[in-house]
Chains A and B, each alone.
Chain A
Amino acid sequence: MIGLLSSEWLRFRSRRIVRVLFIVGVIGIVGAATIAGVSSKRPSEAQLDQADRRAERTIARCVQRHGYKDAFGPRPAGQSDEDYCRAHIRAEDFVDGDQLELNELPQYLQVGAFIAILFGLVIGASMVGASWQTGTITTIFSWEPRRLRWFGARLVVTFAGVLVVALVLLAIFAAAIAVAAALRGSTGTTSGWLGDTVRTALRIGIVASAASMIGAAVAMIGRNTAAALGGVFIYLAVLESLVRGFRPAMGRFLLGDGIGAFVTGQDVQIPSETSGAGVTITPVHGAITIAVYAAALIVVAALLLRTRDVH
């Protein structure tokens, strides 16, 4: 198994599409950070004074109401109302204008999640689809006839590879935004910002890796990269949209809603079809939905691979 993993890893890191997408990603990140920096407007002294005053008023209200009953999240033991409120209410939040704020990095990362998922999907689909299209699967099976073992190794390497590349790209994105914020915006952060950022990045990395599993499995079923990508897009864009439109309550079983809840780390509310209570998709529910979709597709792909004639 070590040999197979080593071989698959060598193939993964040698693939042109991985390198090209990585470079495109870096260029896109640099471009996005540059645009964000250029369009960021630092507030004037008068705006800052006004923001300070508004923040102080809000903090006073917060203290008066005992931290709004810990509305900003769990309070460390022994923390006073004032410390709690000051930890979460910042003058930067009251500045008018379009200032780039490092504190909003988790939200910026979430915007980039779509691209990370797309990256995972394309890499996963091409990792498997290309082997069928070039016929190299015949060569591989004449070296390793245990097909499921090989498929398992390829999935493990694809998952790990996409996770590593996605996290590296997210780290580069974070660094670029930090530089842009330092030059043209605000670098002030609230407590817990670093943890939020890391957790968001990890969630996005995992979703990108899960997307690569879905892409790989569909490409194994269809034996073609383009068919896999087309199939997944049609499913997500057309089928799930129709279901969402006609049967909103089914949203809890949909991949797109599951991804949304998991990536944001927040509950997604689906309104009810009638006047009753709607459905809530929690991040955990979203994670389970993603895992079930990926696992089901992998099982179908593996069953087909085991019995399929290879030409």
Chain B
Amino acid sequence: MSGVVEIEGLRKEYRRLRGGRTVAVDGLDLEVPEGGVFGFLGPNGAGKTTTIRCLLGLVAPTAGRLGVLGAPVPSRLPSVVSGIGAIVEAPALFPRFSGRRNLQILARIGGIGPQAVDASLERVGLADRANDMVRTYSLGMKQRLGIAAALMKDPALLILDEPANGLDPAGIVEVRQLLRRLGGEGRTVFVSSHILSEIQQTADRVAILARGRLVKSGPVHEVLAARGGEGLIVRVRDLEAGRGVLTDAGIQAVVDGDALRVHVPSTDGERVTRALAERGLFVSEVRPDEVDLETVFLELTADEAPGAT
């Protein structure tokens, strides 16, 4: 394996209080290449946070091997931890300390100078609230402070668990731009999220997890293409007649709601509209049948029920 994050056969079981076991992650294999933004997706209980906790040495795996920045976890994690910036779930900060004091405390652990504290606060737009107690911050500000803490290390790998949680639309756009910028700087950004539109716009590669198992991974465009959704959406007044016309013309089409889903390359729009027009059916709308990540995600995880955190 040669990825920045390497996971082989990861399994994590939790004992239930009343006996039995809950399997949070079940034989997960994953490799995250260096550089860019990697989206780690899955419904609630899919095992994303458990996987991240295992990567950071917070939780001991039941089975499997993990590696981060080339070091096995947890045995050699201390040697690479200075290159890892992380937020797990909501950023956990000292609520009665100021934002600056929070960062100072962490900076001292990492032997980081005070300039980096100010620079990080500036970078996430918290410089003017740096001396206020964290408990007075909004959730979005806490998220930004958590990101500031993670960035203080100037990390090669950034692990962010739902970083857009609690952010307003402007904050989400900021985080999106920040992630892209960080990924573009050659860092690896490993980000879990349930805001799939954000991931689609931000990530280069994704992995989709369901019930502790990997159900799909790869570059975003490949994951979307694998769903085989290429085609056209065509709207005509009489859908059944339209479907019949296209079938007669050797073009496969199905009625899908109030439109026809036509299975042709999206560049074949002219052939479709001509066939319909020749039979007196005029098209009111034609557009490529674009598959988004949300659709793929929902299809891939449709059968899966939540089971872990």
State the A residues within 8 Å of B (CB): 3-4, 6-7, 10-11, 14-16, 134-146, 307, 309-311
Which of B83-91, B224-232, B239-247, B284-292 sits within the interface? B83-91
Task: Please provide the chain B residues from 104 to 120 with a CB less than 8 Å away from any CB of chain A in the complex.
Answer: 104-106, 108-111
Partner of B59, one of A3, A10, A311: A311
Given A134-B94, A311-B53, CB of A143 within 8 Å of CB of B60: no
Total interface residues on B, CB under 8 Å, equals 30
Which of B35-43, B95-103, B200-208, B212-220 sits within the interface? B95-103
Partner of A145, one of B74, B106, B111: B74
Pair A138/B92 contact, Cβ less than 8 Å:
yes
**Residues on the B chain within 8 Å of A143, using CB:** 81, 106, 109-110
Pair A3/B108 contact, Cβ less than 8 Å:
yes
Asked if B93 CB lies within 8 Å of chain A CBs, one says yes
User: 17 A-B contacts, Cβ less than 8 Å apart?
Assistant: A4-B108, A6-B108, A10-B101, A11-B94, A11-B97, A134-B95, A139-B106, A139-B149, A140-B106, A142-B58, A142-B86, A143-B106, A143-B110, A144-B109, A145-B56, A309-B60, A311-B59
Pair B91/A3 contact, Cβ less than 8 Å:
no
**Which chain B residue shows the least CB distance to A2?**
B111
Pair B74/A136 contact, Cβ less than 8 Å:
no
Asked if B70 CB lies within 8 Å of chain A CBs, one says no
**Residues on the A chain within 8 Å of B60, using CB:** 307, 309
Q: Is the interface of A mostly helix, strand, loop or mixed?
A: helix
Pair A138/B108 contact, Cβ less than 8 Å:
no
Besides A10-B101, A309-B58, 15 other CB < 8 A contacts? A11-B97, A14-B101, A139-B91, A139-B93, A140-B109, A142-B58, A142-B86, A143-B110, A144-B78, A145-B56, A145-B57, A145-B78, A146-B78, A307-B60, A310-B59
**Which chain A residue shows the least CB distance to B309?**
A311
**Residues on the B chain within 8 Å of A136, using CB:** 92-94
Task: Please provide the chain B residues from 12 to 36 with a CB less than 8 Å away from any CB of chain A in the complex.
Answer: none
Pair B105/A11 contact, Cβ less than 8 Å:
yes
**Which chain B residue shows the least CB distance to A7?**
B108
**Residues on the B chain within 8 Å of A141, using CB:** 56-58
Shortest distance in angstroms between A139's beta carbon and chain B's nearest beta carbon?
5
**Residues on the B chain within 8 Å of A3, using CB:** 108-111
Q: What is the bound-complex CA distance between A141 and B91, given in angstroms?
A: 13
Q: What is the bound-complex CA distance between A141 and B109, given in angstroms?
A: 10
Q: What is the bound-complex CA distance between A16 and B95, given in angstroms?
A: 11
